[in-house]
Structure 1
Amino acid sequence: MASQSSFSMAAIALLLGVLAAFPTIAQSIGVCYGRLGNNLPQPSDVVALYKSNNIGQMRIYDPYSPTLQALEGSNIQLIVDVPNTDLQNLASDASAANDWVQNNIKAYSGVSFRYIAVGNEVIPGNSAQYVLPAMRNIYSALSSAGLQNQIKVSTAVATSVLGVSYPPSHGAFSSDALTYLSPIVQFLASNGAPLLVNVYPYFSYVDNQGSININYALFTSSGTVVTDGQYNYQNLFDAIVDAVYAALEKVGGSSVVIVVSESGWPSAGGTAASINNAQTYNQNLINHVGQGTPRRSGKALETYIFSMFNENQKPAGIEQNWGLFYPNEQPVYSINFS
């Protein structure tokens, strides 16, 4: 019996070692918390809703004080955005960046800040020139506060930064985006920070229904849909992410990891927007990202679902229908995060 029990202990130890080596999928998934609604719950109730649903990561789009106060001591990992309207000021004024970090980061020592997203989907565009200088100033301010190793500085981009996306191995940034992204990628690589990317197979499908099957977009294809050299693609999400990885590699960003800072599917208001499709996409996304993509197989892909609530102050149509929950905190459809 002694030998059997020691075998059992060894087996358990081995299993625990394996579990420790592979973080659970739940740790790879967060949810974006937007506030463009006049009927949304109080931030303290929102944090309680995250915790009761085992959602361990959150993205917010500005350093809203009541949200930050509610997050104190919660252990929820946070992406906080520098709003696009603040970029020019923070780019041109190091002391303004210092104040921003002091007021919005240092003042909330009980919040588990993970990333600061300096701007959302501003590259390319009129504000693109401010992104890197603002990132540098925020990074310097974090360094002054001794937080540069704890909190990574990045920016969030749309997949429209790609000039070529098919096949994934040909992925390359457009010339307009490259002007700004090339030095940003060097900054990310030198600081061990990820690139935040908003990835929406929904829009790719809706814009290309003649050539993209909805099963490929919803993770429900029964087998390989696209073969790209050594890589086989069974879903559009992986193909989009790997196109960005290929683009990063072409500009010296092989070491830069992608974090999917938004992804989701609307439940109403437009083409293929239904509760069934939204539930199918988001549940399959949660179940899938722990295994990585073909180019980064076996490496869990940190991903944030958009979004926590239906937001009634967004434009009518699909924009109001991305939520996992209604404003009364009832689920739009059942979803399992664990």
Structure 2
Amino acid sequence: MASTLVILVLSIVALRHYHIGITMAQLDIGVNYGMVGDNLPSPATVVQLYKRYIIGKMRLYDPNPDVLNALRGSGIDVTLGIKNQDLPSIASSADAAKTWFDTNVQPYVSDINFQYITAGNEVVPGDLAQYVLLAMQNLQTTISNYKYTGLRVSTVVASSTLGSSYPPSSGVFTDIARADMIGIINFLSSTSSPLLVNAYPYFAYASDPTNVRLDYAQFTAPGPVVQDGNLSYSNLLDAIVDAFYWAMEKEGVSSVDVVVSESGWPSAGNGDFTTPQLAQTYNQNFVKKFLAKQATPKRPDHYLEGFIFAMFNEDQKPQGVEQNWGLFYPDGTPVYPVFS
């Protein structure tokens, strides 16, 4: 399977040679690197694991210096998160944003392919939501002053910011999230940056298996499952992404793309809903979709990026599903094969 994926990605990269940070030796797919565990390998070992499986993109939840040093010269595209608790400080002034940037990005910028900086993870709606737009604006000022044209600022939201995504055209931001989301998506439109969305068909299926078909959640439906006007949907991930496009358009913004910043399927923790076989099926099909540049029915001509959650099973998360999202055990052994 690895040789087939390599051949596929070489063809894709040849067609999209202008895409920032992708080399001929990398798969145009991302994996989230979470570190909530006390038995995880060293950052240097993790970077080598990404390179071994030619995973081209890494998402970090905070600027860990050991990880950033290990990434120097790796050629891996990096999406770097700002800790949620740091948002008020960065939002307070352009100087504070520059200090954060000069500490966590500037020392590495010549050796690491930074793709996105994300101001918070799933803080909209919530007490910290008020700081997201100001933090993004202040960071953008710093980046513009440095003239780093390839680095974009965004934030990461959960699909729960939508009041509905079934069918996709009913997508609308919830009342509690709407004001913050309007400011955010207008900023993203003005800077040609995407909105990063954590999208999990697993949760929809596990919470309502009677009405959400397993094959619809796992990319295995033999044909369309949902018909929405003249658009047909055979998988739930496309429906979630398109619901965000509809929600943004209803607020007058049609130029913002979506990046799937997290998606995956746990391999244990919730009985028959979470088996290694189900997790393997979902993540293998996720990889196939994104490597084949299959976009969504609403925007079939738009490039869609995707990140799997997560690299490792993390033993310091709550027991059950939360500990079992990893593609790899802490010793580097695959929980199930996805890339080989």
- With normalisation by structure 1, the TM-score equals 0.91
Structure 2 unaligned residues grouped into runs of 5+: 1-9
Q: Which of these residues, 306, 310, 315, is aligned with residue 313 of structure 2?
A: 310
Question: Aligned residue for 1:320?
Answer: 323
Distance 2:52 2:12 in 1: 28
Residues 1:296 and 2:303 are matched in the alignment: no
Distance 2:201 2:42 in 1: 31
Alpha-carbon shift at residue 300 of structure 1 (Å): 3.4
Residues 1:266 and 2:258 are matched in the alignment: no
Alpha-carbon shift at residue 29 of structure 1 (Å): 1.2
State the one-letter code of the partner of 1:288: K
SS in 1 for 2:105: helix
Distance 1:192 1:56 in 2: 22
Alpha-carbon shift at residue 105 of structure 1 (Å): 0.8
Residues 1:141 and 2:142 are matched in the alignment: yes
After superposition, the Cα gap between the structure-2 partners of 1:274 and 1:94, relative to the gap in structure 1 and judged at 3 Å, is same
- Aligned-residue sequence identity (percent) comes to 50
Alpha-carbon shift at residue 215 of structure 1 (Å): 1.1
8 Å Cα contact 1:87/1:118 also seen in 2: yes
8 Å Cα contact 2:116/2:153 also seen in 1: yes
SS in 2 for 1:56: strand
Question: Aligned residue for 1:8?
Answer: none
Distance 2:257 2:301 in 1: 13
Residues 1:20 and 2:29 are matched in the alignment: no
Does 21-30 or 58-67 show the bigger shift?
Answer: 21-30
8 Å Cα contact 1:291/1:299 also seen in 2: no
Residues 1:278 and 2:279 are matched in the alignment: yes
Structure 1 unaligned residues grouped into runs of 5+: 1-14
**Mapping of residues 181-260 of structure 1, within 5 Å:** 181-260=181-260
Question: Aligned residue for 2:32?
Answer: 32
After superposition, the Cα gap between the structure-2 partners of 1:16 and 1:267, relative to the gap in structure 1 and judged at 3 Å, is closer
Distance 2:185 2:13 in 1: 33
Q: Deviations over 1:111-136 (max 9, x none)?
A: 10000010000000011001101111
Deviating beyond 4 angstroms after TM superposition, the runs of 4 or more aligned structure 1 residues are 15-19, 21-27
Distance 1:92 1:17 in 2: 42
Distance 1:53 1:161 in 2: 34
Distance 2:284 2:231 in 1: 24
**Mapping of residues 67-216 of structure 1, within 5 Å:** 67-108=67-108, 109-147=110-148, 149-216=149-216
State the one-letter code of the partner of 1:275: P
Distance 2:114 2:168 in 1: 32
After superposition, the Cα gap between the structure-2 partners of 1:50 and 1:142, relative to the gap in structure 1 and judged at 3 Å, is same
Alpha-carbon shift at residue 28 of structure 1 (Å): 3.7
SS in 2 for 1:29: strand
Question: Aligned residue for 1:10?
Answer: none
State the one-letter code of the partner of 1:247: A
8 Å Cα contact 1:28/1:301 also seen in 2: no
Distance 2:257 2:310 in 1: 22
State the one-letter code of the partner of 1:119: G
Distance 2:94 2:311 in 1: 34
8 Å Cα contact 1:156/1:196 also seen in 2: yes
State the one-letter code of the partner of 1:326: Y
